[in-house]
């Protein structure tokens, strides 16, 4: 278990800034993250078959495995905008590279917000002018510029004697495993080769962001970028992997807690499945179930919701006699029957900021954990008018 810094900071050599460039009526809508030297880089993107223009461009840019900056706008996602959208994405990176005096092919861009609206790139280009003078070491400043329906800016740091790792993220809705609209940027001053950084990133994403679901909808814009500028020197790769994974899981939990309309974090822990693949199927079936989400919101200890969600995974092995269901450390089902648990006490336990569902399948050693949130009236209210918000 790692201790996170009380106040997040950018690692050595990294800075960021944000401002309002006129895309939003109020609040920051443009952010830059900058390394004083070119960094080793890796990234993963959404698997949605209708990717945004920044994802299309980003996949090409990251092939070099070198980045010096990230430029991000919110409110308009530059998705469903054709060839012109891709051109405007590259105009973003060109404008940022000019302002930051770095190579254009070492600046990656992201956009988040409404789909099928032309990117107001002229506002972004004008907004970037003079932005280098605003660069600071507080990652929360940059985090403010990438928010859409998030209720607060999200950034965390985990430091040790040798290096610092900082993660900035946003995402409240249209989030489902296979890149959970989610943007995440990881910065470190550790010296890590791009190939190793890519491997670390993929392992960590598989344990965290790919196990995050708010509403089962896979965004067109999901992006996770990692940059390592090496200013802190070489580090132990295994130890770095552990810290990186821990930080990604912490950010995943933050994103889940701040899901659109959410009032609590849901954690679905699957144990004793045949293998990891099967465990993930069960975990995702439960975290995506509207009935489990609403039972959590209503503090309703209805174990039938859990049995239903597991039982609908038709292509998986399941022996009800071996199942054990546990909610917030209370065993509610074992030996094929409901236990005689204190319903009132369990209702009170579910009425909290975090609900943990643990399922022991009893068939093997496969494990998986999924992260999500409850389903509330707030989610409907937020998304019923998102286009005009």
Find the helix or strand (DSSP H, E) in which 356 lies. strand 354-360
- Cα(253)–Cα(161) distance, integer angstroms: 26
Confidence (pLDDT) at 374: 82
- Please give the full DSSP string across 169-185, using - where no structure is assigned: EE--SS--SS----EEE
CATH node for 14-257: 3.60.70.12
CATH node for 265-373: 3.10.20.340
- Name the packing angle between helices 82-100 and 121-128 (round to 10°): 0
178 carries a ligand binding annotation = no
Confidence (pLDDT) at 260: 67
- Model confidence at 331, pLDDT cuts 50, 70, 90, reads very high
Tell me the CB-side half-sphere exposure of residue 331, using CA atoms within 13 A: 10
Do 338 and 307 contact (CB within 8 A), yes or no? no
Do 271 and 283 contact (CB within 8 A), yes or no? no
Do 168 and 139 contact (CB within 8 A), yes or no? yes
What are the domain boundaries of the chain?
Answer: 14-257, 265-373
Query: CA angle at residue 87 from 85 to 91, to 5 degrees?
Result: 110
Confidence (pLDDT) at 221: 85
272 carries a ligand binding annotation = no
220 carries a ligand binding annotation = no
Average pLDDT, the chain: 92
What would the pLDDT profile of 238-287 be if each residue is shown by its tens digit? 999 999 999 999 999 998 888 766 789 999 999 999 999 999 999 999 99
Mean pLDDT, rounded, for 92-118: 96
Instruction: Please determine whether the domains at 14-257 and 265-373 fall in the same fold group of CATH.
Output: no
Residues involved in catalysis: 181
159 carries a ligand binding annotation = no
What would the pLDDT profile of 199-236 be if each residue is shown by its tens digit? 999 999 999 998 988 655 567 888 999 999 999 999 99
Distances in Å between the Cα of 306 and the Cα atoms of 259, 265, 269, 270, 333 are 21, 17, 12, 12, 10
């Amino acid at each position: 278990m790692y201790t996170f810094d009380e106040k997040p900071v950018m690692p050595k050599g990294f800075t960021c800034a944000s401002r309002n460039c006129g895309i939003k009526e109020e609040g920051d809508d443009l952010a830059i993250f900058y390394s004083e030297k070119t960094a080793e880089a890796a990234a993963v993107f959404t698997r949605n078959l209708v990717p945004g223009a920044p994802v299309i461009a980003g996949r090409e840019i990251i092939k070099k495995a070198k980045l010096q900056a990230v430029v991000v706008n919110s409110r308009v996602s530059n998705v469903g905008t054709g060839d012109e959208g891709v051109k405007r994405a590259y105009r973003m990176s060109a404008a940022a590279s000019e302002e930051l005096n770095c190579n254009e092919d070492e600046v990656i861009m992201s956009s988040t917000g409404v789909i099928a609206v032309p990117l107001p790139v002229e506002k972004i280009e004008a907004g970037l002018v003079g932005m280098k003078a605003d660069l600071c070491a507080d990652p929360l400043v940059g985090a403010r510029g990438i928010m859409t329906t998030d209720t607060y800016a999200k950034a965390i740091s985990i430091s040790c004697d040798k290096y610092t790792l900082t993660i900035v993220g946003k995402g409240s809705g249209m989030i489902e495993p296979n890149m959970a609209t989610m943007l995440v940027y990881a910065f470190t001053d550790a010296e890590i080769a791009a190939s190793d950084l890519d491997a670390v990133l993929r392992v960590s994403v598989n344990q965290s962001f790919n196990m995050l679901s708010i509403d089962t909808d896979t965004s067109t814009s999901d992006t996770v970028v990692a940059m390592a500028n090496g200013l802190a020197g070489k580090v132990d790769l295994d130890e770095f992997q552990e810290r990186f994974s821990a930080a990604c899981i912490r950010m995943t939990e933050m994103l889940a807690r701040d899901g659109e309309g959410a009032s609590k974090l849901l954690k679905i822990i699957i144990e004793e499945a045949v293998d990891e693949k099967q465990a993930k199927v069960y975990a995702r079936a439960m975290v995506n179930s509207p009935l489990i989400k609403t039972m959590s919101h209503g503090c309703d200890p209805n174990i039938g919701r859990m049995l239903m969600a597991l039982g609908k995974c038709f292509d998986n092995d399941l022996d009800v006699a071996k199942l054990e269901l546990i909610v917030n450390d209370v065993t509610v089902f074992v030996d094929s029957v409901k236990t005689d648990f204190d319903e009132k006490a369990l209702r009170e336990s579910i009425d909290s900021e975090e609900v943990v569902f643990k399922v022991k399948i009893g068939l093997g050693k496969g494990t998986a954990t999924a992260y999500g949130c409850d389903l509330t009236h707030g989610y409907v209210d937020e998304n019923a008018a998102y286009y005009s918000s």
